[in-house]
Structure 1
């Protein structure tokens, strides 16, 4: 019997063979590997419209890209419950990725109300929930090179609460929190906490919309569109309490451990990272907008603020099992006036 020949189609290029078998990269000729790396990095820079100020920076970014590419390919061969992909962050170093995680933990306790979980002990919770389907979630935003995740989580929870109250989805200004809440213990791009942002909003009578405040500091005449009476904290570590809070009050601000590289390059599936179960090291603030089950794995539906290039159009499914990565540890939501 004659062997099968694929004459009508070109053979897979060497870069595809490396993706299928990463070990080939280390046994091939160095000049071939350099050519392949150059080709892959060129395609990456074109896809994400990357440009660099000098040849030195170009080579620096290329080295970071190659390092991250090897990591992504290696993890994807491990048959995990999620897959990784090279995204717009693939030319960043570990130090630069860390700068995106701006949840600044302090020992000072928040003064938020306790979410009365016992009042909802008889509540029949739906099997799944996605507040996006009800129009309660604004489009994914991009915090850029700034550790201001805390401000996006705060405004995201406020936007959802305002929608539930008025039926109107109004994007709220995280920039005003970055610019103005220093006196309450937040540090703009160097990190902050949601409860401190809530305190600032209460002190100043509300928060402005994105449209009225604008992109820069100094819009003193901005109209306040959301007044805050207080905020509530959810029972730490309780998936049932967090589900009830989501069902009754809309999107909830949560803190997670996002320090592992697998989080930076998440693409789809249920993210479960066994190394991030230390709930005292929560370094990133995000927004929980629902929950559900995929292929038998329960998950939280999480909105990030790293643009739609990251994750699944800006979202991630985070495993609910054993409070993985601390999603249910320090959850809070606003109570509108």
Structure 2
């Protein structure tokens, strides 16, 4: 595990706090070490000490296996705070903030949270339904499906790589609302437990394609009947409790944000793959995300587009209210930023099933 020079200095300072290094006549609490050894010019004005660390642990329910593990996590947390303050001091279109990922290195975050599995090469038709391609259908310059009643509780996948399940369950839930006027939270856990045959790996990750193919075959149960557990369990699918059936699904043309915009306007919330690799994505808080290092060459996470404006997409993520704008992100439009239009899946519902 790699740390910057500040991280190593932090660990050394903690070692000097241990019993082997205590000097009885010296007040060497970590707070005084921060005050007297202001080695970080970014944070030296906003002193960070024991109280802040304890508050962070309480707020995000953090515990560690040992003092060594906690010291390492605290060093990472401190480095991330420095990165946050440095970023926010510059003229960016978006801001960062401490959240429940702040004690994770980028590598830990990617290995633990971001687990979208690469689908096989596209064999599915990449086009919108014919009636949506007609140019005489004018779409609005901006839309937000939350204003039409799509306001799910902000979910958290926790330490389970289930973004694929959350994305497709919520995409189908949105269609259930739009097509039938029915508000029925659907089960992510069912997809986690039962879609292994379609190439998914439970909490080890999965693909949008695998989740869609599974629901096309078996249908979706309600969240009430099959609640989320954040771990893979034995499949408990019950045909009698299926609440929604996917008749068919399709993909918006790869890389085409205009087609994606049309799909969101005329069909509803759309599930998309995205590149969540940058540290700025990990620590995003507010504003229009426009990190030029967020490549569109690869994707590793899945979210739901719930709307757009003239300049940004509105994304629902699965990382709880402490991430982003209470669970949402605004992402810059027009540059296929983070690969937002690389793999966008829309759903068609079975009119007979409810």
Q: TM-score range by the shorter chain?
A: 0.7 to 0.9
| Alignment root-mean-square deviation, CA | 2.6
Q: How does 1:160-239 map to 2 (within 5 A)?
A: 160-204=174-218, 206-215=219-228, 217-221=234-238, 223-239=241-257
1:166 is displaced (CA, Å) by 1.4
Does the 8 A contact of 1:137 with 1:160 survive in 2? no
Structure 1 residue ranges without an equivalent (≥5): 1-12
Q: Which residue of 1 aligns with 2:280?
A: 262
Structure 2, unmatched stretches of 5+, are 1-30
- The one of 64, 68, 88 equivalent to 1:76 is 88
Counterpart in the other structure of 2:305:
288
Pairing 1:96–2:114 present: no
Residues 194-226 of structure 1: per-residue CA shift (max 9 Å, x gap): 11111111122x110111123454434360000
How many equivalent residue pairs?
Answer: 310
- Deviations, residues 255-289 of structure 1 (Å, cap 9, x unaligned): 11110000011111000011123x33111100000
Q: Is 1:172–1:207's contact at 8 Å kept on the other side of the alignment?
A: yes
TM-score, reference length from structure 1 = 0.85
Equivalent-residue separation in structure 1 for 2:50 and 2:171 (angstroms): 43
Query: Quick one: structure 1 residues 120 and 78, their matched pair in 2 at CA, closer, same or farther if it must change by over 3 Å?
Result: farther
**Misfit runs of 4+, over 4 Å:** none
Distance in 1, matches of 2:125 and 2:254, equals 13
Which residue of 152, 162, 167 maps to 1:148? 162
Q: What residue in structure 2 maps to residue 3 of structure 1? A: none
C-alpha contact (below 8 Å) 1:239/1:323 kept by paired residues: yes
Task: Assess if the C-alpha contact under 8 Å between 1:81 and 1:270 holds in 2.
Answer: yes
- Per the TM alignment, residue 110 of structure 1 is displaced from its structure 2 partner at its CA by 4.5
